[in-house]
């Protein structure tokens, strides 16, 4: 089955009991058991397992060409489940422009349990290789990165894996439609389903997918023990989003190329970061590992912070807000929003300047979006 078909059919058979075509939202906290030690079909308690969640977990696993999926109440909860595989003294290697919340979790939450994190300025597999030590347990890769749209060569970094060092890829930006890290050698894929998979800016959720039964069992144990699970209703919303992922991503991509072409070379715009264009430094690597490009574009406004303030006031269709991946176009100012937790010196070193804007291009009509950007720049 091709991806667009899998998103609609995999792990969402019509209900065996009623024939309901849509997987029911099973709003229950507990399940009647048929006798001592006889839970019906394995269901016991809603934190441990719920049919709505289970259906979604299977569907997201299939979307990532994986065998095992687990869903969480947020992308951050999925991320925490992976870090809980670690022991005191273990090391994690990632890049400086990793998702701000992941940086914060490593630095402010897991460091106090003795887990050491390094954040590289470079995105080359060589720099990952040089940073590996006998204690490195995880390489945490995001590609394209947020907000600079750097590309990490997943297969090259996967070549550095060993029995003790796993590769995790946060695939939130590309979405499963454009990139499948497990196929490129990753051990675990993480998603904030809040973004493209949910796709409608109406739910917070997360997921992880792996082909490794041992990793799955360890993360599933943590999921039940720590309890950061999505509600049945949230599971339904994410699953409803997944069904239309293929059509939405095609439209996000087409619109992103249109909007990026307005920004490119515009007198009010400095550097443009869009990996879909051939002159982006990561374009060749992106073409090798991605089937297309999501609606994410960053660019510098000439005129810095004052220009940013005027620009966001003038936007009519692009909503000034954090997050990404929904049907509606959003504009965000990374310095004061998504990357506010990162120290200023680190931010500036990796290019997150006061004039930087990030767009999440939605699925509206491209002409309207282009006109909005044109008039706001003007
Ligand atoms: C949003 C996001 C997360 C965190 O997900 P939440 O659902 O907000 O907890 C992690 N990684 C990336 C790349 C994200 O964009």
> Which two tokens mark 188?
């675990």
Query: Could you identify the atom of ligand 1 that is nearest to the CA of residue 79?
Result: 10
> Which two tokens mark 218?
């360890």
Confidence of residue 229 (pLDDT cuts 50, 70, 90): very high
Mean pLDDT of 179-185: 98
Mean pLDDT of 205-220: 98
Length of the chain in terms of residues written: 378
Where residue 313 sits, what CATH number does that domain have? 3.90.1150.10
pLDDT tens digits along 1-54: 999 999 999 999 999 889 999 999 999 999 999 999 999 989 999 999 999 999
Q: Is 74 among the domain residues?
A: no
The HSE-up count of residue 218 (CA atoms within 13 Å, CB side) is 15
Distance 75 CA to ligand 1 centre (A): 5
**Statement: residue 368 has pLDDT above 80:** yes
Mean pLDDT of 310-323: 97
Instruction: Please answer whether residues 325 and 374 qualify as being in contact, where contact means their C-beta atoms are separated by less than 8 angstroms.
Output: no
Q: Is 209 among the domain residues?
A: no
Q: Is 162 among the domain residues?
A: no
Q: Which residues are catalytic?
A: 47, 99, 170, 195
Q: Is 128 among the domain residues?
A: no
Q: Is 167 among the domain residues?
A: no
Query: Residues 6 or more apart from 154 whose CB is under 8 A from it?
Result: 141, 143, 167, 169, 179, 181, 184, 185, 186, 289
Residue 68: its H or E element: strand 68-72
E-assigned strand segments in the chain = 68-72, 91-95, 116-120, 136-142, 166-170, 188-192, 206-210, 269-273, 296-301, 319-320, 330-332, 356-360
Distance 172 CA to ligand 1 centre (A): 7
Q: Give the closest residue (by CA) to ligand 1 atom 2.
A: 192
Q: Is the omega angle on the peptide bond into residue 229 within 30 degrees of 0, that is, cis?
A: no
Q: Is the CB of 338 under 6 A from ligand 1?
A: no
pLDDT tens digits along 122-149: 999 999 999 999 999 999 999 999 999 9
pLDDT at 338: 84
Distance 85 CA to ligand 1 centre (A): 19
**Statement: residue 231 has pLDDT above 90:** yes
Taking the C-alpha atoms of residue 38 and residue 161, their distance in angstroms, rounded to an integer, is: 42
Q: Is the CB of 196 under 6 A from ligand 1?
A: no
Distance 117 CA to ligand 1 centre (A): 19
Q: Domain containing 358: what range?
A: 245-377
Q: Is 146 among the domain residues?
A: no
Tally of domains in the chain:
1
Taking the C-alpha atoms of residue 11 and residue 32, their distance in angstroms, rounded to an integer, is: 24
Q: Is the CB of 195 under 6 A from ligand 1?
A: yes
Q: Is the CB of 142 under 6 A from ligand 1?
A: yes
**Statement: residue 341 has pLDDT above 80:** no
Taking the C-alpha atoms of residue 172 and residue 144, their distance in angstroms, rounded to an integer, is: 9
Q: Is 338 among the domain residues?
A: yes
Q: Is the CB of 206 under 6 A from ligand 1?
A: yes
CA quadruple 202, 199, 98, 273: dihedral, nearest 10: -130
pTM listed for this prediction = 0.97
Confidence of residue 346 (pLDDT cuts 50, 70, 90): confident
pLDDT at 312: 97
Taking the C-alpha atoms of residue 154 and residue 151, their distance in angstroms, rounded to an integer, is: 9
Q: Is the CB of 170 under 6 A from ligand 1?
A: yes
**Statement: residue 100 has pLDDT above 90:** no
Q: Is 192 among the domain residues?
A: no
């Amino acid at each position: 089955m091709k991806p667009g078909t899998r998103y609609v059919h995999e792990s969402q058979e019509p209900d065996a009991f009623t024939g309901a075509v849509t997987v029911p939202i099973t709003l229950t906290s507990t399940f009647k058991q048929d006798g001592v030690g006889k839970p019906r079909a394995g269901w016991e308690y809603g934190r441990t397992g719920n049919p709505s969640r289970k259906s979604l977990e299977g569907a997201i696993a299939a979307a990532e060409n994986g065998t095992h999926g687990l869903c969480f109440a947020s992308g951050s909860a999925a991320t925490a489940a992976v870090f809980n595989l670690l022991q005191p003294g273990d090391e994690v290697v990632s890049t400086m422009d990793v998702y701000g919340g992941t940086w914060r979790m490593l630095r402010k939450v897991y460091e106090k349990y003795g887990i050491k994190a390094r954040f590289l300025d470079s995105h080359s597999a060589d720099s990952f290789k040089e940073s590996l030590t006998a204690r490195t347990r995880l390489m945490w890769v995001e590609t394209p990165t947020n907000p600079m749209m750097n590309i990490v060569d997943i297969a090259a970094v996967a070549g550095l894996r060993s029995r003790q060092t796993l590769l995790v890829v946060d695939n939130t930006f590309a979405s499963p439609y454009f990139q499948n890290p497990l196929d490129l050698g990753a051990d675990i894929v993480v998603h904030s389903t809040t973004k493209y998979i949910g796709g409608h800016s109406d739910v917070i959720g997360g997921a992880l997918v792996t082909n490794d039964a041992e990793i799955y069992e360890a993360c599933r144990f943590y999921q039940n023990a720590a309890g950061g699970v999505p509600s049945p209703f949230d599971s339904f919303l994410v699953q409803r989003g997944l069904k239309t992922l293929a059509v939405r991503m095609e439209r996000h991509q087409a619109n992103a190329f249109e909007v990026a072409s307005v920004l490119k070379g515009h007198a009010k715009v400095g550097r443009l970061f869009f990996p879909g264009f051939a002159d982006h430094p990561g374009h060749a690597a992106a073409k090798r590992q991605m089937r297309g490009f999501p609606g994410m574009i960053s660019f510098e406004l000439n005129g810095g912070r004052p220009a940013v303030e005027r620009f966001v006031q003038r936007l009519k269709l692009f909503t000034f807000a954090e997050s990404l991946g929904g049907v509606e176009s959003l504009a965000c100012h990374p310095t004061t929003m998504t990357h506010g937790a990162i120290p200023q010196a680190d931010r500036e070193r990796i290019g997150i300047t006061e004039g930087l804007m990030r767009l999440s291009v939605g699925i509206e009509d491209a002409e309207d979006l282009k006109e909005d950007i044109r008039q706001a720049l003007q």
